[in-house]
């Protein structure tokens, strides 16, 4: 049998695959390709971070808030009749129909460690809040606007005359909005004064102040809403809510 020539043998060998071929791209083109891949990776990482910040933190915070809320209500039931506010576990629940945020547990303090649990907190610093059962003063509250429960996300939906209801173990406090401040510096502590003159009032009263970050998804400024106590109602055995919540 005749022996194949070296040329014929090489002709039968498989052609080099693209993976084994040397990269003959221009250095600039190769760099652009690598940069594009890095951008895609960075975009995926950023997308995951946004999903975590704006969705998953809400899931975690709402779960924690529900657990703490049940603990407060269970405590009210176990304690029986009226008693002093529990300033550690939670003093009551905020109901704001215009914000469509359900009931919001209110706890002591406005530190991140408090608000990240999907609750609202009353100020202890720089100006302490007056609690609803106290003498005339300003019940000042804060909550996140996005992420971590976003309990004040729809604060911009509040208008003059809208109801803000605070529920304690034995009393419903019904406030009505009378002033909003869509934007102010985060260093403006005057909005927390016991007589909040920036709201146009000049004498002591029973006020409530809601504060949160603005614009949405930033913390550059503060959004402020003021309300004034219109009336109180004693909680009955069925915890029938006031007309504003029905």
For 166-180, the pLDDT digits (tens) are 999 999 999 999 999
- Is 50 exceeded by the pLDDT of residue 7? no
**Predicted confidence band of residue 5 (pLDDT cuts 50, 70, 90):** low
- To 5 degrees, how large is the angle CA 173–CA 179–CA 181? 120
Ramachandran angles phi, psi of 127, nearest 5°: -125, 120
Q: Could you tell me if residue 40 is inside a domain?
A: no
Supply the CATH number for residue 123's domain.
2.40.260.10
Distance CA 143, CA 211 (A): 7
- Is 90 exceeded by the pLDDT of residue 190? yes
Q: Could you tell me if residue 44 is inside a domain?
A: no
For 88-105, the pLDDT digits (tens) are 689 999 999 999 999 999
Q: Could you tell me if residue 119 is inside a domain?
A: yes
DSSP conformational letter for 84: -
What would the mean pLDDT of 73-100 be, rounded to a whole number?
A: 82
- Mean pLDDT of all residues belonging to the chain: 85
Q: Could you tell me if residue 41 is inside a domain?
A: no
Q: Could you tell me if residue 12 is inside a domain?
A: no
Catalytic residue positions?
Answer: 213
The per-residue b/e assignment along 114-134, b for 16 or more CB within 10 angstroms, e otherwise, is bbbbbbbbbbeeeeebbbbee
Q: Could you tell me if residue 22 is inside a domain?
A: no
Q: Could you tell me if residue 31 is inside a domain?
A: no
**Predicted confidence band of residue 162 (pLDDT cuts 50, 70, 90):** very high
Q: Could you tell me if residue 16 is inside a domain?
A: no
Q: What's the pLDDT at 55?
A: 76
| Contact in structure between 210 and 152 (CB atoms under 8 Å) | yes
151 lies in which domain range?
53-245
Distance CA 152, CA 214 (A): 10
Count of structural domains, the chain: 1
């Amino acid at each position: 049998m005749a022996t194949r020539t070296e040329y014929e043998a090489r002709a039968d060998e498989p052609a080099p695959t693209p993976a084994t071929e040397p990269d003959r791209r221009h250095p600039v083109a190769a760099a652009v390709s690598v940069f594009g891949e890095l951008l895609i990776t960075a975009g995926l990482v950023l997308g995951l971070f946004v999903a975590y910040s704006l969705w998953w933190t809400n899931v975690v915070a709402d779960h924690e808030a529900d657990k703490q809320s049940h603990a407060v209500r269970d405590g009210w039931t176990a304690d029986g009749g009226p008693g002093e506010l529990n300033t550690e576990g939670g003093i009551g629940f905020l109901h704001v129909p215009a914000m469509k945020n359900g009931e919001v547990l209110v706890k002591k303090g406005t530190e991140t460690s408090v608000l990240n649990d999907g609750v609202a907190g009353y100020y202890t610093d720089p100006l302490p809040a007056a609690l609803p059962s106290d003498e005339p003063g300003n019940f000042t509250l804060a909550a996140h606007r996005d992420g971590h429960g976003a309990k004040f996300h729809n604060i911009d939906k509040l208008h003059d005359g809208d109801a803000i209801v605070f529920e304690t173990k034995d009393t419903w406090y019904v406030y009505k909005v009378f002033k909003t401040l869509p934007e102010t510096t985060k260093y403006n502590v005057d909005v927390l004064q016991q007589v909040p003159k920036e709201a146009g009032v000049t004498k002591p009263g029973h006020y409530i102040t809601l504060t949160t970050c603005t614009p949405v998804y930033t913390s550059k400024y503060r959004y402020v809403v003021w309300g004034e106590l219109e009336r109180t109602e004693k909680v009955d055995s069925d915890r029938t809510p006031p007309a504003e919540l029905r």
